[in-house]
Amino acid sequence: MRRCCQGVGLPCLFKGAGMAGARPPRFLLVFDFDETIVDENSDDSVLRGRALPEPLRQGPRGGCSYNEHMRRALAHLGEQGVRPAELRAVYENIPLSPGVPELFQFLGRHRELFELVLISDANTFGIEAKLRAAGARSLFRKIFSNPAGFDRRGVLTLGPYHSHACPRCPPNMCKRKILGEYLAERALDDAEFQRVLYVGDGANDFCPAGMLTAADVAFPRKGYPMHRLIQESQEKQPGAFQAAVVPWESAAEVARYLQELLRRKC
């Protein structure tokens, strides 16, 4: 049975979804997950308080990518008897960032205007679990993240999302490549967005935000790496970062900006 959207006070978002002849949304809203939708790094949440061997406690070393480090850490947890239900409960209980429930409520009321996608270097299992627990999964048209699922032993396996040639991004994921391919795909569907709106926090969100145009808006979490990198870019090369920049401490500030955007009808 489908779980409805009561977790964040949303009206049912399944009704009328995908109706034939519906006009394409006017805005594409792109979200990160860790420390953006949720107020923690979900990998840290899963590993917190676990008895890990010394190499895993020290983090990625010797050319090992972070994605590969987490693959090994999750495999270790499974071998130690940590079951799927326990991991799911961890993801479900990660707190949402301040203002995210209010932002989701706003987007639920204006579903026809905003197309939502999520691009995250976390994993599909954890993201799906949290969004469903929050009653917000149906808001998102697409989730791009590292594939994750349980094998026959009940071990959560993790893979890389893709390969790419971007020198700025980790080897398993370039969000700029994902966003560019998605926009090209949607253009083939005749979905041309008036603006792209990007909400994130991390250094790997700076790379895709750099492809935004002057019509678009970047919403970096205030004081986090994405925000600092944008500021540094603007200081070193004024005008190189084209999008409008709206830092936020509470995602309710994002909702208020979007409300004003709708009032201006642009």
Distance of alpha carbon 57 from alpha carbon 232, whole angstroms: 32
Q: Decide: 138 and 111 in contact? Cβ < 8 Å.
A: no
Structure tokens at 109: 């009321």
Q: Which residues of the chain form beta strands (DSSP E)?
A: 27-31, 114-119, 140-144, 148-150, 156-158, 195-200, 217-220, 244-245
CB crowding 11-37: b at 16 or more within 10 Å, else e: eebeeeeeeeeeeebbbbbbbbbbbbb
Q: Of 32, 39, 190, 216, which is the active-site residue?
A: 32
Contact call for residues 175 and 204 (beta carbons, < 8 A)? yes
Exposure string for 94-120, b = 16+ CB within 10 A, e = fewer? bebbebbbbbbbbbbeebebbbbbbbb
Distance, CA of 151 to chain centre: 25
To the question of whether residue 121 is assigned a binding role by annotation, the answer is: yes
Q: Which two tokens stand for residue 68?
A: 């590969």
**Known catalytic residue at 32:** yes
Q: Residue 81 contacts by C-beta under 8 Å, 6 or more apart in sequence?
A: none
34 is catalytic: yes
User: Is 44 annotated as belonging to a binding site?
Assistant: no
Is 39 labelled a binding residue? no
Q: At which residue do the structure tokens 């049912």 appear?
A: 12
- Residue among 37, 21, 20, 246 at smallest CA distance from 139: 37
Binding-site residues for Mg(2+), please?
A: 32, 34, 201
- Detail the residues annotated as belonging to a binding site: 32, 34, 43, 121, 201
Q: Report, as residue numbers or ranges, the catalytic residues.
A: 32, 34
